[in-house]
Structure 1
Amino acid sequence: MTTTLAKIPLMDLKQQYLSLRGELVAAATRVMDSGVFILGPEGAAFEREFGAAHDAPHCAGVSSGTSALQLALEACGVGPGDEVAVPAFTFIATATVVSALGAKPVLVDVDPATLTMDPKDLAARLTPKTKAVVPVHLFGRPADMGPILAVAKERGLRVVEDCAQGHLARYGGRCVGSLGDCGAFSFYPSKNLGAMGDAGALTTADPKLQELFIMLRNVGRKPGGHYEHVRVGHNCRLDELQAAVLRVKLPYLAAWTEAKRKSAELYRRALAGLPLRLPPEDAPGMRQVYTLFVIQADRRDALSAHLTKAGIGNGVYYPAPLHRMPAYQHLGLGEGSLPRSEAASRAALALPMYAELTEESIGRIADSIRSFYQG
């Protein structure tokens, strides 16, 4: 009799939901019973709680991580004719928000091991038009913020941290989102702290930026005003239902993060000796949060197919760097322009990673990878 092994998903949102179902239903019911659905007490409470968890005196909830990035850059004065430095190996929203403001994304290559922005390449690609830099804390690993901040200070640049994958991550002992001028967070459902739909937030220590965030998210309305629109703004507010969901989940985030960090260590031991490039371990003062566990593998596509056939979820993050996507062909950056980002897009493969992942499952994943390389 043949035993069929259960599939191991890349991520498992349903397990998390089932463990919190009662609390989530109660939170949603509380919002519905209140009759307040936009900019109410749930959103205000979540902003206080999330800001406190991330060492941020100010926090503004918005409708998505993409909205957070765009509002951050707009509040920092980015507009037509400006340039903004972003990594070439990232989700495209990091660059599209720059384009949406009429500015030009300047693509920076990444470190081949960490896959985050290379500070030396950043310095080499700046021009007099560069207004800001957006380091991405990719896959839950903080970018090398010390040198990046030094370059930015020397050149007078604003620093907007893309923290979409960095909830509770730390660099130099400080939470990401508190290192630059501001941080932009996403609560897309698959993130370490995920809503039940789109949601995002901005963090900052600058009260002037916070005032701009509040106005920009709410059609340029003066704080406390009703039809007093003091500037052109947007409609990208965090709704009360999503805020209530996030408030249920936030107290569990530290434990979920620790579970993922333990899984990462199990992966390191289980995959030792294989011809793979694993995510580097924490640098001193750093705390990765492993939104994704991304290896770099030769014959990546064949390995992906092998895992899929074995019932093991996996994903390619990301299949092309930004300059090789149709949306940014107009930048005129051909093959070889950003070689480390190009190499990463050929090798990166995400393995299953979620708080409920078991040691047994990690062993099975490792055995499957070992069988691929060793026949």
Structure 2
Amino acid sequence: MLAYSPSTASSTASAAAGPAIPLAPVLSAASFRRAAEVHASPARTVLDAGAYRLVTSGRVAIALALRELGVQAGDTVLVPAYHSPSMIPPVLWRGATPVFYRVTADAGVDLEDLAARIGPDTRAVMVTHYFGFPQDLAPIRALCDARGIALVEDCAHAFIGEHGGRPLGSWGDYAIASSMKFLPIYEGGALVSNRHDLKNVTLRSAGAGFEAKVALNSVEKGFAYGRLPTLRAALWLPLRAKSALWGLLKRGRKVPAPALAPASSDSSFDFDPRWLDKRSSLFSRTLLKASSPARIQALRRRNYQRLDEALRGLPGLRALHPQLPDGACPWVYPLLVDEPEALFQRLKARGVPLTRFAYPLWQGVDDTTCPNAGMLSRRVLALPCHQELREDELDWIIAAVRKEASA
């Protein structure tokens, strides 16, 4: 099996540098506002694409999709050269070999290269909707049908959104998604299919410890970023007692306690097959049901467009995409930067929350594999545009980026 050592791919604000601004959604009173409050139109999620199972992460969903497709040792799976490293371990877990196909300079699928890499052992191809921007999957679906291979639609960046009048996730034999990129929850993913009933995918609870950890971590993360102050005051003493008790229990153990949540919840790229038959927590499932996709989409689009208007034309950077398509719900706001290392370090020092998707790429994938993947991995810096950002936080991010980009 190939080895991979993840490095830090994101930065959050430090108290000394600037205000603490969440890179991902955090729980707040605003999390439960309905769509009418932002005058939003109806929005569809990947769950509208077909039958679904709610699991703990997108990578677990990938592993389940590959298992359901019968991928095994000796098979190859086509994977975009521009990818999250968490996409690869499920392929290796099945004993298959990942084969990397090229992408274009704007992260589109290089269809000619993809077709050329399909061989007699190819069982499936994975295609990613990067940053919430839909790929044109009609020709890819036609290619897969003509060559007799399966399509796994990666909606990890696109839990909400549609294209061509259909919800994202509708084109694949299976689709996978990551709800924790779009909701203020500690874990969450989905396996979806409009071609299979998923009756063979049975899930069970991961236990009381997991359920409690997810709920507490989701609430405490909101507290850490200044949300839910009344609830924080009410729970101050019980949470202090919980922390003290947990510290005593850990000090008394001679061996580390088994993980109560999957590695994906703590930004690791590892894959643990013990989570394959575990369903998403009750807390996450409840919040998913209570959330408004229309509100989330409307606010993310508004924040994205505000960032775009404020940062467009600054020296040395530009939006990866010239415009936000109708029906898209962005995960983040991706900037293509001429001198990414210098700007990344300056923004990190100021405490600007940002992430570098696919940085680094999987071991052995470099410019010789795909020049555009290497370029995108190095040069794309992404800013948050999620629905829980406050006006003052977005103002501060814009001011900080404008200042550092002009330095």
Distance in 1, Cα, partners of 2:311 & 2:161? 24
Q: Identify the residue that residue 211 of structure 1 maps to in structure 2.
A: 199
Q: Give the corresponding residue for 2:133.
A: 141
Change over 3 Å in CA distance of 1:369–1:134 after alignment to 2 = same
Cα distance change, pair 13–362 in 1 and its aligned pair in 2 (3 A): closer
SS, match of residue 71 in structure 1? helix
1:283 deviation in Å? Answer: 7.5
* Distance of 1:56 and 1:334 partners within structure 2: 34
Aligned to 2:187: 198
For the residue of structure 1 that corresponds to 2:156, the secondary structure is coil
Confirm or deny that 1:353 pairs with 2:385. yes
Instruction: Please name the residue that 1:319 is paired with.
Output: 359
2:146 counterpart letter in structure 1: E
Counterpart residue type for residue 193 of structure 1: L
Where do 1:209-358 residues align within 5 Å? Answer: 210-214=198-202, 217=203, 234-249=276-291, 252-274=292-314, 275-281=316-322, 287-322=327-362, 325=363, 329=364, 335-358=367-390
Q: 2:330 aligns to what SS in structure 1? A: coil
Contact 2:46 2:159 (C-alpha < 8 Å) held by counterparts: no
Q: C-alpha separation between the residues in 2 aligned to 1:310 and 1:287?
A: 34
Q: 1:349 to 1:234 in 2, by over 3 A?
A: closer
CA separation of 1:51 and 1:71: change in aligned 2, threshold 3 A: farther
Query: How far did 1:53 drift?
Result: 6.8
Change (3 A) 1:99 1:258: same
Cα shift at 1:295: 0.8
Aligned to 1:371: 403
- Deviation at 1:365? 3.3
Question: Does residue 186 of the first structure (1) align with residue 158 of the second (2)?
Answer: no
**Structure ranking higher on relative contact order (CA contacts 8 Å, 6+ apart):** 2
Is 1:104 paired with 2:97?
Answer: yes
Q: Paired residue for 2:242?
A: none
Q: What is the aligned partner in structure 2 of residue 61 from structure 1? A: 54
Identity of aligned residues (%): 28
State the Cα distance separating 1:357 from its structure 2 match.
3.0
Aligned 8 A contact 1:10 1:351 in 2: no
1:259 and 1:85 map into 2 onto residues whose CA distance is 34
Residue 76 (structure 1) shift: 1.6
| TM-score, scaled to structure 2 | 0.69
C-alpha displacement of 1:234: 4.9
Provide, for residues 285-339 of structure 1, a one-character-per-residue CA deviation record: whole Å limited to 9, x for no partner.
Answer: x5321111111101112112222333322222232222xx2xxx4xxx5642211
Q: Partner letter of residue 182 of structure 2? A: N
Using a 3 Å threshold, how does the CA distance of structure 1 residues 51 and 306 change in structure 2: closer, same or farther?
A: closer
Cα offset, 1:175, TM superposition: 0.9
Q: Distance in 2 between matches of 1:187 and 1:340?
A: 28
Amino acid at match of 1:237: R
Matches within 5 A, 1:44-123: 54-113=47-106, 115-123=107-115
For structure 1, the residue ranges without an aligned partner over 5 or more in a row are 23-49, 220-232
Structure 1 pair 370–63 and aligned structure 2 pair: CA distance change class (3 A):
closer
- AA in 1 matched with 2:19: K
Q: Deviations over 1:133-157 (max 9, x none)?
A: 1111122122231222122122111
Is 1:174 aligned with 2:166?
yes
Structure-2 change in CA distance of 1:20 and 1:357 (3 Å): closer
Number of residues of Structure 1 aligned to a counterpart in Structure 2: 314
When residues 307 and 239 of structure 1 are mapped into structure 2, their CA distance, relative to the original with a 3 A threshold, is closer
Instruction: Tell me by how many angstroms 1:363 deviates.
Output: 4.7
CA distance in 2, matches of 1:276, 1:269: 13
Measured in 2, the distance between the counterparts of 1:261 and 1:52 equals 15
What TM-score, normalized by structure 1, do the two folds share? 0.74
Structure 1 residues 257-295: Cα deviation after superposition (integer angstroms, max 9, x where no partner): 2111111111221122223231325586x5321111111
Whether 1:151 and 2:143 are equivalent positions in the alignment is yes
Structure 2 distance, partners of 1:299, 1:121, is: 29
Would you say the 8 A contact 1:7–1:313 is kept in 2?
no
Say what the alpha-carbon RMSD is for the aligned residues. Answer: 3.0
Residue segments in structure 2 that go unaligned for 5+ positions in a row: 1-15, 34-42, 206-274
Equivalent of 1:17 in 25, 28, 51: 28
